[in-house]
Chains A and B, each alone.
Chain A
Amino acid sequence: AQSVTQLGSHVSVSEGALVLLRCNYSSSVPPYLFWYVQYPNQGLQLLLKYTSAATLVKGINGFEAEFKKSETSFHLTKPSAHMSDAAEYFCAVSDGSGGSYIPTFGRGTSLIVHP
């Protein structure tokens, strides 16, 4: 069974500081992993995805994530936070178990960016 844990319901950073949002997954087979962003009153937008190619995945808006199998992690980073990055971020895992690729989402991490 697949599951995902996002450590920290809220992360607060200053503008220009490093952003690190943590995600650990559990899967019985090599998974697909995703990060989505959700701005207030909007749906989810895909930031990046890991599909068993390069372990370092680059996404939109300067975000990237590294797949670490030994740590079962897929943490999201951005070198320098922008005020516009303030949003809710969701990590999701999909491993195709039972022939279904329905993703399981974490509970989300709210990123707060201070001026």
Chain B
Amino acid sequence: ETGVTQSPTHLIKTRGQQVTLRCSSQSGHNTVSWYQQALGQGPQFIFQYYREEENGRGNFPPRFSGLQFPNYSSELNVNALELDDSALYLCASSPEGAASNEQYFGPGTRLTVT
């Protein structure tokens, strides 16, 4: 069984650009959540997808959007990047659907916006 993987590991973008981050969940995990972890902070919930539908959203603007695919992969898209978007972005998958209380995290993508 493979774990949760994310790509790329590091990324540098310029303010105003758009970025797509990718996550591959563990096989059979039909729920994926995305988090933003700023330096020195705990992870902040962005949104969750369950069976390809958005299932919950944190306090992030609409320029943060996502997709989940049938093959257990997902994407986080961020438009009009701002300097404050610089952070580690984590995805986490869950094995039992929307009500699962256990999450398996990937290693994260470090995004730097200049």
Q: Measuring CB to CB, which residues of chain A are less than 8 angstroms from any residue of chain B?
A: 9, 32, 36, 41-46, 49, 51, 90, 92, 94, 96, 99-108
Partner of A108, one of B41, B100, B102: B41
Could you tell me if A90 and B56 are in contact, using CB atoms closer than 8 angstroms? no
Q: A32-B101, A105-B42 are in contact. Are A43 and B48 (CB under 8 A)?
A: no
Smallest CB separation, B72 vs chain A (Å): 17
Could you tell me if A46 and B102 are in contact, using CB atoms closer than 8 angstroms? yes
Q: A43-B107, A44-B43, A90-B42 are in contact. Are A102 and B102 (CB under 8 A)?
A: no
Could you tell me if B42 and A107 are in contact, using CB atoms closer than 8 angstroms? yes
Report the tally of A-B residue pairs with Cβ distances under 8 A.
Answer: 60
Partner of B99, one of A45, A90, A101: A101
Complex Cα gap A103–B48 (Å): 11
Complex Cα gap A31–B9 (Å): 33
Interface of chain B, main secondary structure: loop
Could you tell me if A101 and B107 are in contact, using CB atoms closer than 8 angstroms? no
Could you tell me if A43 and B100 are in contact, using CB atoms closer than 8 angstroms? no
Could you tell me if B107 and A102 are in contact, using CB atoms closer than 8 angstroms? no
Q: A90-B42, A90-B43, A102-B56 are in contact. Are A44 and B105 (CB under 8 A)?
A: yes
Q: Name the B residues within 8 Å of A36 (CB-CB).
A: 105
Could you tell me if B33 and A96 are in contact, using CB atoms closer than 8 angstroms? no
Would you list the 7 A-B pairs with minimal beta carbon distance, nearest first? A105-B42, A43-B105, A44-B105, A43-B107, A32-B101, A101-B101, A107-B42
